[in-house]
Amino acid sequence: MRTAILSDIHANRHALEAVLADVEASGAQRIWCLGDVVGYGADPGDCIDLVRANVDLCLAGNHDLAVTGALAIDDFALGAAIAAEWTREVLSAERIAWLGSLDPSADLDDVALYHASPRDPVWEYVLGVLLAELCMDAMSARIGLIGHSHVALSFRRPEGEAATGTARRADEIAQLGDDRWLLNPGSVGQPRDGDPRAAWLLLDDAEGTAQWRRTRYDVDAAAAAIRTARLPDSLAERLQYGQ
C-alpha cells in the first residue's frame, strides 16, 4: 500500500491543496499527518476541514496543542504565540475540540508515528545522529515517522551498526530493507531546508521504499493571506526562502 506522509501544515491552505492534488496523482491509498495542522499560517479552519475530509490518521503537534490550551502559549516564540492566540480567536469551538481529540503519537505495529520524537512526541527536535540513536532505542517499531523540525531527512541503522543520517531532497528514494529508520517528510506549510516547495513523503509498503516529494504552490498567495490577517510579517516573508 502507498501512504502519503504529511507534517507541519501550519494553516497554509495553498500548500495543502497543492499537496493533496499531488498525493492523489501519486496513487497513494491513504494519508497520515504528523501534526501541526494549524500554526503560522492564515487558514486554520480551511486546513482543519481539508485534513478531516482527506486524512486517514492525524496526530497533534505542539502548535495544535497550544491552540487547544493543552500547552501554555508562553512556551512559544513570539511569532508562534501571536499566531496561536489569533488562531484561537478565529476557530470555531467545534474545530478546536477536534484538535483536542488528537494525540501526538500512534503505534501501528511495524510503523510508529510521532509529531516530534519517540522520546518526546511533542517537543524534541531530531536533527542529529546521536539523538536519532537514542530515539531508535526508545521505539519498538522498525520504522518511525517524525515531523516537527520542518526538515526533510532520514536516519538509518542496520542491525549491529551505528546510525547514519542525511538531509533529503526532492525525488530521493530510500530502500528501507530490514534496517531501522526514522523518516521525516519535511513541512507542507513552512519548509526550513532552503526549498520553499511543500514537502511530503510517499511510503510504499510493497516496494519497501520511501520517496521524498516536493510540490510547488502559490507562495505569494499564502504570504498575502498572512499579511491580510495581520499576523507577523516575518511569518509571510520566510515562506519564499524555505526558512
Domain ranges of the chain: 2-241
- What is the tens place of the pLDDT at every residue in 8-30? 999 999 999 999 999 999 999 99
- What 233-239 contacts at long range (C-beta under 8 Å, 24+ apart), as own/partner pairs, is 234/79, 235/40, 235/41, 235/79, 235/83, 238/190, 239/12, 239/190, 239/196
Q: Is the pLDDT of residue 81 over 90?
A: yes
pLDDT computed for residue 238 by the predictor: 96
Length of the chain: 243
| pLDDT for residue 109 | 77
Classified by CATH at the fold level, domain 2-241 comes out as Purple Acid Phosphatase; chain A, domain 2 (3.60.21)
Residue whose C-alpha cell is 509571510 = 236
pLDDT for res 65: 98
- Across the beta sheet with 30-33, the strand order is 57-58, 30-33, 2-6, 198-204, 209-215, 173-175
Mean residue pLDDT of the chain comes to 97
